[in-house]
Amino acid sequence: MAGASAKVVAMLLSVLATYGFAAGVVYTNDWLPAKATWYGQPNGAGPDDNGGACGFKNTNQYPFMSMTSCGNEPLFQDGKGCGACYQIRCTNNPSCSGQPRTVIITDMNYYPVARYHFDLSGTAFGAMARPGLNDQLRHAGIIDIQFRRVPCYHRGLYVNFHVEAGSNPVYLAVLVEFANKDGTVVQLDVMESRPDGKPTRSWTPMRRSWGSIWRLDANHRLQGPFSLRMVSESGQTVIAHQVIPANWRANTNYGSKVQFR
């Protein structure tokens, strides 16, 4: 049995490598060491525009609620880690509560100070403190923390697609947000429709533009409605059928009725 299990694991790793799925930080009950800093406003969501290098909008609102973080490359993974959820806690500072708090990767940390470095929003950094000591903890600057990857649960939300500004009849850019479980999407494919509105049954791979934004540069006029097929980091596939209508507009949200389970 042990030999068979090893073969299955090896086969899975081969598949993941073939399709480029990000291994990232695996789910575990063990706590890993990291460093934490913070940026932006003391009680803010990180960058001034409530976004970041992942492209997510309104990170001061649900489900982010300003509990956000930049990740250095092992966490951000050139955008593949966008949307992943982590529990963090600090224990070696007098202001630390020791209680775990959950943050979402929404931005890139360009100047890491450790192998794993969370550059947290002011809100998230302060949330690790004992009651009333949020500012005192923030004054500590760089601190040691522990972290572990956890599933994302955005209760009440389905996956949302935002057609980005600049999209046009031959160029489609789509932000994917609110994915449950892994929180990340490693591949996005689009299916166009025929002039009569019926799907073509042919999938075209999109490529990651940056962060959680995917793009398709077409050599023809794109025909909606569009269906979108998502693959999560763990390999789950979810399809949002004709989620973007034929009369779509740039800089517009198109909510789905699908979610990772």
Mean pLDDT of the chain, nearest integer: 90
188 contacts 229 by C-beta, under 8 angstroms = yes
Q: Cα–Cα distance between 120 and 134 in angstroms, integer?
A: 13
Beta strands in the chain (DSSP E): 32-39, 68-71, 85-89, 101-108, 117-121, 143-150, 160-163, 171-177, 185-193, 199-205, 207-210, 213-217, 226-232, 237-244, 252-255
Q: Which of the four pLDDT bands, split at 50, 70 and 90, describes residue 152? A: very high
The pLDDT tens digits of the residues spanning 174-229 come to 999 999 999 999 999 999 999 988 989 899 999 999 999 999 999 999 999 999 99
Starting at the edge strand found earlier in the chain, the sheet holding 213-217 runs 207-210, 213-217, 171-177, 160-163, 252-255
The CATH class given to the 24-150 domain equals mainly beta
Residue 81 pLDDT > 90: yes
Residue 9 pLDDT > 60: no
Which of 105, 81, 91, 71 minimizes the C-alpha distance to 26?
A: 81
Residue 8 pLDDT > 80: no
- Mean pLDDT of all residues in 31-47: 94
**pTM, entire model:** 0.88
Query: What are the backbone angles phi and psi of residue 76, rounded to the nearest 5°?
Result: -75, -40
Options 3.30.70.360, 2.60.40.760, 2.40.340.10, 3.40.50.970; which CATH number does 160-255 get?
2.60.40.760
Domain coordinates of the chain in residue numbers? 24-150, 160-255
Check residue 25 and give its pLDDT: 66
Query: Is the peptide bond prior to 63 cis by the omega test (within 30 degrees of 0)?
Result: yes
**Between 46 and 48, where is the model more confident?**
46
The pLDDT tens digits of the residues spanning 164-177 come to 999 999 999 999 99
